[in-house]
Amino acid sequence: MAEQNNTSEQANKEKSGIPENVVYVGKKPAMSYVLAVVTQFNNGAKNVKIKARGNTISRAVDVAEISRNRFLQDVHVENIAINSEELQNEDGTKSKVSTIEIVLSR
């Protein structure tokens, strides 16, 4: 599950040319994403974007807070933006989902 997810995230990155310093928060435990954030900072990133939508928004906030309080004391919250996206359901109807983007900076 973790590996499958990982692969599809990487495929996504390659397809859309998303820069590497974005962490998409999904349904895995928060610590998986904290590890991704910490790794990117340790690899020299000056800032990391944590993105999530729908129910995983709470987890994205946990990821930001755990990263900054427990592992990266020199990192601060640079910006937080919320927005809405329209999703097409399987039956063709559309529904709106909230999104969040938290930028952490060193």
Name which of 10 and 95 has its Cβ closer to its own copies: 95
Name which of 11 and 97 has its Cβ closer to its own copies: 97
Q: How many Cα atoms occupy the beta-carbon half-sphere of 93 within 13 Å? A: 3
Interface with its own copies, residue 42, by CB under 8 A: no
Task: Specify the length of the chain in residues.
Answer: 106
Interface with its own copies, residue 84, by CB under 8 A: yes
Beta carbons of 19 and 71 less than 8 angstroms apart: no
Interface with its own copies, residue 81, by CB under 8 A: yes
Distance CA 11, CA 5 (A): 10
Name which of 81 and 87 has its Cβ closer to its own copies: 81
Structure tokens at 12: 């996504």
Closest CB 98 distance from its own copies, rounded Å? 4
Interface with its own copies, residue 96, by CB under 8 A: yes
Contacts of 1-8 with C-beta under 8 Å, sequence gap 24+, read: 2/28, 2/32
Interface ranges with its own copies (CB under 8 A): 54-58, 61-62, 64-65, 69, 77, 80-84, 96, 98, 100, 102
